Every structure is written in structure tokens, then in C-alpha cells.
Amino acid sequence: MAPLVLLGSARKNSDTQRLVEILFEGKKYRLTDLLDYTVEQYNYDETYSGSDRFMEITNAVLAHNTIVFATPVYWYAMSAYMKIFFDRLTDIVSSQKHIGRQLKSKRTFFIAVGADAELPDGFEIPFKRTSEYLDMQFEGGFYCPVNELLQPQLLKQKAENFLALIK
């Protein structure tokens, strides 16, 4: 089954989307762009408007065995779109546990693009710890400094081991 790539960029045709296209060139995958969905911020009452589409995205996640979170690095962390999605996972581990339990054993990865030469310390922790909490298997991440997007062939070589994990 093809992996689901959950894209959390704040603009269309972003550097992060470009990285996904480079890494998955010639491979099957499903892209879900969070910009295409209204996902309201988590609230303790778990009351959301009719335009909220969190569960639609969650159903896409449930339909795949491998989930790749793709996000730019904004202020040393994941994007706000991705963070809101992660915050909403609270809904499926509190009042909708039967849904949250279905995430067990899914494989997770992250892909990130940023301005710095190295990924900020601790960036992977929310991906890793969230996966652990949900009984998912976090298997790693791949970081790309934005200037490396100009060399797609070298980038693919650099990512070869990472891509082999995703299969």
C-alpha cells in the first residue's frame, strides 16, 4: 500500500511540497495537503463547526499503513498546520478511543525543509513521542536544507537510505 504524505506547509507549491515530489518521484503515494482542509484548533469541549474536516483526514490516515508527516521548519518546530493536526489527535485518544486504537502499528516518518544547515535539536521529538503514545512505529525522518532542493539528484542520493525504509 502506498504511503500517505500529510503536507503541512502554509502555502501551495512550497519547498516542502517540492521535497516530497523529489523524494517520491516515480513512486506511488497519496498526498493530503492540510491547506485543502479546515481543521479547527483543539478545544476541550470537542465542539467544532460543520466545516471542520479533521475526521476526514483521520480516515485517510487510518486507510494507510505508512504515514509521512511533511512540514517546513518554522521557528525551530513543525508548522502551525501540522501542530493543529497533532493537537486534534487528542479527540481520538479521549472521547473517540476506538478510533485512536486503530492507529496502532502504523509506521510514521517525517520530512522537513528548513533554512538552517542542520535540523534544530529536538525537532523530531513530537513525531517520535506522539507515535509512541499512539502505539505507532516511528521510523525516522529526513531533513533538507532549502538550498539542497536545487540539486535533486544529489538530494535523492542523500535520502536513499531513508527512502528504502518507507518502501
Binned at pLDDT 50, 70 and 90, residue 128 comes out as: very high
Percent of the chain with pLDDT over 70: 100
User: Could you identify the residue written with the cell 517520535?
Assistant: 128
In the block, cell 525522518 appears at 141
Under the banding of pLDDT at 50, 70 and 90, the label for residue 1 is confident
Domains and CATH numbers, the chain: 4-166 (3.40.50.360)
Higher local confidence (pLDDT), 75 or 96: 75
pTM of the model: 0.96
Alpha helices by DSSP H, listed for the chain, are: 15-23, 54-62, 80-88, 91-94, 97-100, 125-133, 152-158, 160-166
CA-based radius of gyration for the chain? 15
Are 31 and 57 in contact by the 8 Å Cβ rule? The answer is no
pLDDT(96) > 90: no
* pLDDT in the model for residue 95: 85
Cα separation, 114 vs 116, in Å, equals 6
